[in-house]
């Protein structure tokens, strides 16, 4: 499986600020999936990013709040904007091919705490 | 849209017993079903997956069964050990019209007591 890294691994932020999370993969991948895992909860897909096109957002998530960049096939960023305590979660990236049988692995996650 | 239900939410077993976690899905077109194990403070780790062209898959103490007619699949762990204690998530693939994505169940917290 691909080696996936995320930065930062954790952060504590003040409300109203923004944080950009980076995800790096050691091989080229078609799709980058971004998930949120709220404390004690399951994984919720935020959006899916394909290189060269705008990200596709899931219901309940908007681009102004979670802008995503996908400048190339090995890298992506997710920004959490204008943060509130409700944004305190673990954010995980997961590269994939977007086909029905692609195996998906997860990055180590970014643990975000908003005060 | 696709919905995945997972039961039970918590499961407590004695070491050496078997554990079974069940999931149902709604999208009859789903054809890929992975299971992830998440230990405290760590990322979800893929432990086993099954594709719709098979009914059962086994890997040492772990097995997954799939019933496409009933739209449910199950994780079976035999001879449980304390290190099996974790949260387990099932997932099912669903086609969005442009790509496939995974929809996750709510998770099962498994506790294996020595």
The vertex-A24 CA angle with A19 and A26, nearest 5°, equals 175
Rg (CA), chain A: 13
- Give percent helix, percent strand, percent coil of chain A, each to the nearest 5: 5, 50, 50
Q: A51 pLDDT band (50/70/90 cuts)?
A: confident
From CA A92, how far away is CA A32, in angstroms rounded?
10
Length of chain A (residues) = 115
Can you name the residues that pair with A20 across neighbouring β-strands? A79
Tell me if B100 and A98 make a contact (CB, 8 A cut-off): yes
Q: Do residues B22 and B76 make contact, with C-beta atoms less than 8 angstroms apart?
A: no
Q: What was the pLDDT predicted at B49?
A: 94
pLDDT on residue A14: 97
Taking residues A13-34, what's their average pLDDT? 95
Please write the tens of the pLDDT for every residue from A60-101. 999 999 999 999 999 999 999 999 999 999 999 999 876 766
Yes or no: say if A31 and A81 are a contact pair by the CB < 8 Å rule: no
Q: Do A100 and B100 touch (CB under 8 A)?
A: yes
Q: What is the pLDDT of residues B9-57, one digit of tens each?
A: 999 999 999 999 999 999 998 989 999 999 999 999 999 999 988 899 9
Judged by CB atoms closer than 8 Å, whether chains meet at A104 and B106 is answered as no
- Across all residues in chain A, what is the average pLDDT? 93
Residue B46 C-alpha, separation from nearest chain A C-alpha, in angstroms: 7
Residue A85 has phi, psi (to 5 degrees) of -55, -25
Say whether B98 and A108 touch across the interface (CB within 8 A).
no
**CA–CA gap between residue A112 and residue A35 (Å, rounded):** 13
Predicted local confidence at residue A49, as pLDDT: 93
Minimal C-alpha gap between A9 and chain B (Å) = 11
Residue of chain A nearest B98, judged by CA positions: A98
Contact between chains at A103 and B93 (C-beta distance less than 8 A)? no
What is the CB neighbour count within 10 angstroms for residue A2? 14
Residue with tokens 């899931």: A58
Pick the more confident residue, A57 or B95.
Answer: A57
Instruction: Spell out which residues of chain B touch residue A56, defining contact as CB-CB under 8 Å.
Output: 96, 98
Q: Which residue carries 């932020």 as its tokens?
A: A13
Q: Convert the pLDDT of each residue in B76-109 to its tens digit.
A: 999 999 999 999 999 998 888 778 889 999 999 9
Compute, in degrees rounded to 10, the torsion defined by CA atoms B24, B29, B33, B38. -70
Buried b (16+ CB within 10 A) or exposed e, A80-115: bbebeeebbbbbbbbbbebebebebbbbbbbbbebe
What is the pLDDT, as a whole number, of residue A103?
84
Q: What is the pLDDT of residue B108?
A: 98
| DSSP SS3 for A85 | helix
């Amino acid at each position: 499986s691909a080696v996936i890294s995320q930065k930062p691994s954790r952060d504590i932020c003040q409300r109203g600020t923004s944080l950009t999370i980076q995800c790096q993969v050691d091989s080229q991948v078609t799709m980058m999936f971004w998930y949120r895992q709220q404390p004690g909860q399951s994984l919720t897909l935020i959006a899916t990013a394909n290189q060269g096109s705008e990200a596709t957002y899931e219901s309940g998530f908007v681009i102004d709040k979670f802008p995503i960049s996908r400048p190339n096939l090995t890298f992506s960023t997710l920004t959490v904007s204008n943060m509130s305590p409700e944004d305190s979660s673990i954010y995980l990236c997961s590269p994939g091919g977007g086909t029905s049988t692609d195996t998906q692995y997860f990055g180590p996650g970014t643990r975000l705490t908003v005060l | 849209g696709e919905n995945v239900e997972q039961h039970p939410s918590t499961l407590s077993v004695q070491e050496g017993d078997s554990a079974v976690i069940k999931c149902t899905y709604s999208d009859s077109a789903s054809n890929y079903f992975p299971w992830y194990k998440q230990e405290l403070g760590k990322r979800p780790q893929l432990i086993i997956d099954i594709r719709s062209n098979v009914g059962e898959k086994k890997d040492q103490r772990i097995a997954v069964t799939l019933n496409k007619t009933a739209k449910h699949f199950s994780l079976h762990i035999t001879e449980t050990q304390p290190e099996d204690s974790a949260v387990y998530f099932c997932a099912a693939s669903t086609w969005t019209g442009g790509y496939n994505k995974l929809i996750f169940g709510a998770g099962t917290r498994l506790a294996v007591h020595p």
